[in-house]
Amino acid sequence: MANSVNSIADFAATINAQGKTSATKSSNDINKDQFLTMLTAQLQNQDPTNPIQNAELTSQLAQLNMVDGINQLNVSLSSINTMFAQNQALQAATLVGRTVLAPGDVMALNNGVGLAGVDLPQSVDSLQISVKDAAGNVLQTMDLGPQKSGTLTFSWDGKDASGNSLPNGDYTFSIKASAAGKAVDATALGFAAVGSVSLANQQLSLNTSTLGTVSLSQVKQIY
């Protein structure tokens, strides 16, 4: 969804980086007026013994049509871009109140259950999760063993290494993954409730309960 909007905006920018729709004249309109003025002056002041050739005049008129056509295309693309952004915002608004899985190292513990996830760029031989308190102290380490590449979720029973049940609240976790003895850079994923949606510069962001602001394109799963 987001990719579609970005590609249209990039295409429009490539055609005319300065093109903007407004009630006043755009930069393309001014260029077109200047072009017509120059062409008219050229025709009025041409040398009667050496008039402008048809091929040259046709070429200049073609340039005028191209400038005007690009301007109209830019206006159309801007309108389409706005429509896509509005439609995307409406769709994203339906996520309010839902839970998403997105990049973040926060894991909420509720009634003895903590849920989080990991995004692995490749299969690993070993995957360990270390749960930490607010001060960064390791409370529990979980060995998840070999795992395939992709997004996976895991749970924590809310107990520390001594088997003591911990209170509800937000904890953090770190990941240690390796394959063939080499460390693998894995991405921590957290669950969070979506409270609201923000739209700025044609980019949609979700404002979540524990992960802060998350780009819509970063969301791995929706619940």
pLDDT score of 107? 97
> Are 20 and 41 found together in one domain?
yes
pLDDT score of 67? 64
> Are 75 and 112 found together in one domain?
no
Q: Rounded mean pLDDT of 201-219?
A: 89
As to burial, measured by CB atoms within 10 angstroms (0-12 exposed, 13-18 middle, 19+ buried), residue 26 is: middle
E strands, the chain, are: 99-103, 106-110, 113-120, 126-132, 138-143, 150-156, 169-179, 182-184, 187-200, 203-208, 213-215, 221-222
What letter does residue 167 receive in the DSSP assignment? P
pLDDT score of 97? 93
> Are 134 and 164 found together in one domain?
yes
End-to-end CA distance of the chain: 18
pLDDT score of 207? 95
Of 31, 65, 93, which residue sits at a domain end? 93
pLDDT score of 91? 73
> Are 217 and 197 found together in one domain?
yes
> Are 44 and 119 found together in one domain?
no
Distance in angstroms (rounded) separating the CA atoms of residues 206 and 47: 66
Distance in angstroms (rounded) separating the CA atoms of residues 173 and 106: 7
Residue 12 pLDDT exceeds 80: no
pLDDT band at 200 (very low <50, low <70, confident <90, very high): confident
Of 43, 68, 93, which residue sits at a domain end? 93
pLDDT score of 75? 73
Block residue for tokens 């520390």: 160
> Are 112 and 66 found together in one domain?
no
> Are 115 and 212 found together in one domain?
yes
Residue 24 pLDDT exceeds 50: no
Q: What percent of the chain has pLDDT over 90?
A: 52
Residue 29 pLDDT exceeds 80: no
How many domains does the structure of the chain reveal?
2
> Are 136 and 203 found together in one domain?
yes
pLDDT score of 92? 76
pLDDT band at 14 (very low <50, low <70, confident <90, very high): very low
> Are 51 and 144 found together in one domain?
no
Residue 220 pLDDT exceeds 70: yes
Of 65, 93, 121, which residue sits at a domain end? 93
> Are 107 and 57 found together in one domain?
no
Phi, psi of 90 (to 5 degrees): -65, -40
pLDDT score of 3? 42
The angle, 0 to 180 degrees and rounded to 10, between the axes of the packed helices 54-93 and 27-44 is 170
pLDDT band at 7 (very low <50, low <70, confident <90, very high): very low
Q: Rounded mean pLDDT of 179-191?
A: 97
Q: Where residue 201 sits, what CATH number does that domain have? A: 2.60.40.4070
Q: What is the pLDDT of residues 63-106, one digit of tens each?
A: 666 766 677 767 766 766 666 666 766 777 889 999 999 999 99
pLDDT score of 204? 84
> Are 71 and 106 found together in one domain?
no
Q: Which domain holds residue 57?
A: 2-93
Q: What is the pLDDT of residues 38-63, one digit of tens each?
A: 667 766 666 565 665 556 666 766 66
CA nearest neighbour of 137 among 113, 161, 154, 158: 161
> Are 156 and 85 found together in one domain?
no
Which tops the pLDDT comparison, 72 or 153?
153
